[in-house]
Amino acid sequence: MSLSQLSVMVVEDHGFQRRMALRLLTDLGIGGLSEAADGHSALHLLEGSSQPPDVLLVDLDMPGMDGIEFIGHVAQRQLARAVVVASALDPALLNTVQTMARAYGLRVLGSVEKPLTRDKLAAVLGSFDDQLHAYDDDEVVEVTVANLRDALANNEIEPWFQPQVELGNGKPVAVEALARWRRNDGHVVRPVHFIPLIEREGMVSELTDHMLAQSCRWKRQWDQQGIRLNLAINVSPQVLGDEGAADRYQEIVRREGVAPNEVILELTESSVMADAARGLGVLARLRLKGFGLSIDDFGTGYSSLSQLSQIPFTELKIDQGFVSGAHKQPRKRAVIEASLDLARKLQLDVVAEGVETVEDWQMLADLGCGMAQGHLIAQPVPGEELPAALGRWRRPEH
Ligand code: C2E
Ligand code: MG
Ligand code: MG
C-alpha cells in the first residue's frame, strides 16, 4: 500500500502543531486526513464513522484524556488499525504502550519525536504495511498445539543465524540462533507466532534442546570451513525452574563436539528479574559448567545494579529499541552510555542489538561498545547461507 492510500487522523490539542502535522501529511500525499483536538472528540468521531482510519497520530500529552488513556480506549473498542505516538518516548515506555495495545489487536507502529518532519512521518508510516503483514501472519498461519507438536517432531522448526561482529575491527565472533518454522507450504513463520504457545504448552525444553543441538551441528560445519563462531541461544524464562537444564545442555554440547564456553545462553532481562531468586541456582550451575550467560533486551526490564551484580551474567545485550536511531536521539544515547558504563563495572561483554545504520554503528564504535548485531551487518539466514552472508559483510569506512 502506498502512502497515498493511507487514511490518517491527527489527535493533537495544540492547534499549531495539529495544523503542522496535517500539512506534512498532505505533503506526503496522504489523501484521507481527519483531525481532533482531544481524546473525547476523537473517540466521538471514530465511533460515528463507518470507515475507521488506518492510522491515528496521537499526541501523548493532552489535557483531559491523555494519549495513553486514549489509545487504551481505541484498542479496546477496535476503532483503528494502527497508532503512531507523536512524542519522544523511551523504548521501555513505548514497549509498555505497544504491549497494552497489542492485547486488543491494535498496532503501535512507533513514536516520532517532535518537531515532526516529513522524513520522520514517512519513515514511521512506511512501516504500516510491514507491520500489518507481520500481524496478518497471525491470522493466515493457523498455529495449533497439534501442528506445533508435529513441527517439532518433524524438524520443521530450525535455527536461522544472525552474526555478531566486533565493532573495533568488524570481525564476526558469534551468531545468534533464531527459531524459524519452515512449513510445508514454504511459509517461514517467525517466533512471535509460535514461541508463546510452545511456552504455554510445556514444550519449551524440547524446543531449546533442539535449537541447541542443531546450532552445534552447524557450528561444527563452519569450524571445518575455518569459520570460528560462538553460538548464542535464546532460552525461555521457564528454564529458571528446570533443575535438569544445566546437565542436559552440558550433555548436548558434549555429544555435538562443542565446548560450553563457546555457547552463550540468552535470557531476557524481564524474565530473570521476575524470578531471580528461584533461577539463581540454575544460572549458577550453567556458569559453573562453562556456559556464557547473556541478559537479552537489556534496558526494558528495570533491573537494579544490586540485582544485576548478584546474577552471574557474562554479557549484556542492549535492546534494539535503544540502539536504532540512537545517533540522533540523545535519550537513547544516554541509555547506551549508562549500559556500557554498567557493563564495564561488572566486567560484562556488550552486544548492541538492532544496528541498522552506519551512523548508529559509528556512534557505538566511538562509545567503545564491543559487539554489534543487526540488519546493517546481516539479516538472520539459514545455516547454509551464513558463510555467504558473512562474505557480503563489509565494515563501514571510518
Ligand atoms: P531477540 O532474542 O531479542 O532477537 C532479536 C530479534 O531482533 C530477532 O527477531 C531478530 O531477527 C531481530 N533483529 C535483528 N536485527 C535487527 C535489526 O537491525 N532491526 C530490527 N528491527 N530487528 C532486528 P526474531 O527472530 O523475530 O525473534 C524474536 C524473539 O523471539 C527473539 O528476540 C527471542 O526473544 C525469541 N526467540 C527466537 N528464537 C528463540 C528460541 O529458540 N527460543 C526462545 N525461547 N525464544 C526465541
Ligand atoms: Mg536473543
Ligand atoms: Mg533482544
Our measurement of the distance from residue 101's CA atom to the centroid of its chain's CA atoms, rounded to an integer in Å, reads: 16
Which residues hold their Cβ within 5 A of ligand 3, which is an ion? Answer: 296-297, 353
Q: Give residue 178 CA to ligand 1 midpoint distance, Å.
A: 6
Which of 268, 323, 353 has most ligand 1 atoms within 8 Å of CB, for mutation?
353
CATH homologous superfamily, domain 145-394: EAL domain (3.20.20.450)
Q: Which ligand is nearest to the CA of 191?
A: 1
| Atom of ligand 1 minimally distant from the CA of 204 | 44
Marked catalytic residue, from 251, 353, 359, 385: 353
- The hierarchical CATH code for the domain 3-135 is 3.40.50.2300
Q: Give residue 297 CA to ligand 3 midpoint distance, Å.
A: 4
| Atom of ligand 1 minimally distant from the CA of 233 | 41
Per-residue pLDDT of the chain (398 residues), as tens digits, is 678 889 999 999 999 999 999 999 999 999 899 999 999 999 999 999 888 899 999 998 898 898 989 998 998 888 998 999 988 677 777 777 877 787 777 888 888 888 899 998 998 898 887 665 554 444 456 678 888 999 999 999 999 999 999 999 999 999 999 999 998 888 888 998 899 889 888 999 999 999 999 999 999 999 999 999 999 999 998 888 899 999 999 999 999 999 999 999 999 887 787 777 778 889 999 999 999 999 999 988 777 777 788 889 999 999 998 999 899 888 899 999 999 999 999 999 999 999 999 999 999 999 999 999 999 999 999 999 999 999 999 999 86
pLDDT at 76: 85
Q: Which ligand is nearest to the CA of 209?
A: 1
Report the distance separating Cα 312 and Cα 302, nearest Å.
17
| Atom of ligand 1 minimally distant from the CA of 375 | 18
Q: Give residue 320 CA to ligand 2 midpoint distance, Å.
A: 11
**3-state SS record for the chain:** CCHHHCEEEEECCCHHHHHHHHHHHHHCCCCEEEEECCHHHHHHHHHHCCCCCCEEEECCCCCCCCHHHHHHHHHHHCCCCEEEECCCCCHHHHHHHHHHHHCCCCEEEEECCCCCCHHHHHHHHHCHHHHHHHHHHHHHCCCCHHHHHHHHHCCCEEEEEEEEEECCCCCEEEEEEEEEEECCCCCEECHHHCHHHHHHCCCHHHHHHHHHHHHHHHHHHHHHCCCCCEEEEECCHHHHHCCCHHHHHHHHHHHCCCCHHHEEEEEEHHHHHHCHHHHHHHHHHHHHCCCEEEEEEECCCCCCHHHHHHCCCCEEEECHHHHCCHHHCHHHHHHHHHHHHHHHHCCCEEEECCCCCHHHHHHHHHHCCCEECCCCCCCCEEHHHHHHHHHHCCCCCC
pLDDT at 99: 75
Residue located nearest, by CA, to atom 20 of ligand 1: 354
Q: Give residue 233 CA to ligand 2 midpoint distance, Å.
A: 7
Which of 94, 155, 178, 239 has most ligand 1 atoms within 8 Å of CB, for mutation?
178
Report the distance separating Cα 97 and Cα 70, nearest Å.
11
pLDDT at 136: 45
Prior bond to 115 cis, omega within 30? yes
pLDDT at 131: 62
Exposed / middle / buried, residue 201 (Cβ in 10 Å: 0-12, 13-18, 19+): exposed
Q: Is the model's pTM score more than 0.85?
A: no
Determine the residue type at 285. R
Q: Give residue 269 CA to ligand 1 midpoint distance, Å.
A: 14
Where in the sequence of the chain do the CATH 3.40.50.2300 domains occur? 3-135
Q: Which ligand is nearest to the CA of 266?
A: 2
pLDDT at 230: 98
Where in the sequence of the chain do the CATH 3.20.20.450 domains occur? 145-394
| Atom of ligand 1 minimally distant from the CA of 236 | 44
| Atom of ligand 1 minimally distant from the CA of 353 | 15
To the query of whether residue 337 is one of the catalytic residues in this protein, the response is no
pLDDT at 224: 96
Report the distance separating Cα 371 and Cα 229, nearest Å.
13
Q: Give residue 320 CA to ligand 3 midpoint distance, Å.
A: 7
Residue located nearest, by CA, to atom 14 of ligand 1: 374
Q: Give residue 389 CA to ligand 2 midpoint distance, Å.
A: 19
pLDDT at 132: 56
Pocket (CB within 6 angstroms of ligand 1): 162, 178-179, 190-192, 195, 207, 211, 234-236, 266, 296-297, 320, 353-356, 374-375, 380
pLDDT at 340: 97
Q: Which ligand is nearest to the CA of 131?
A: 1
Report the distance separating Cα 264 and Cα 330, nearest Å.
31
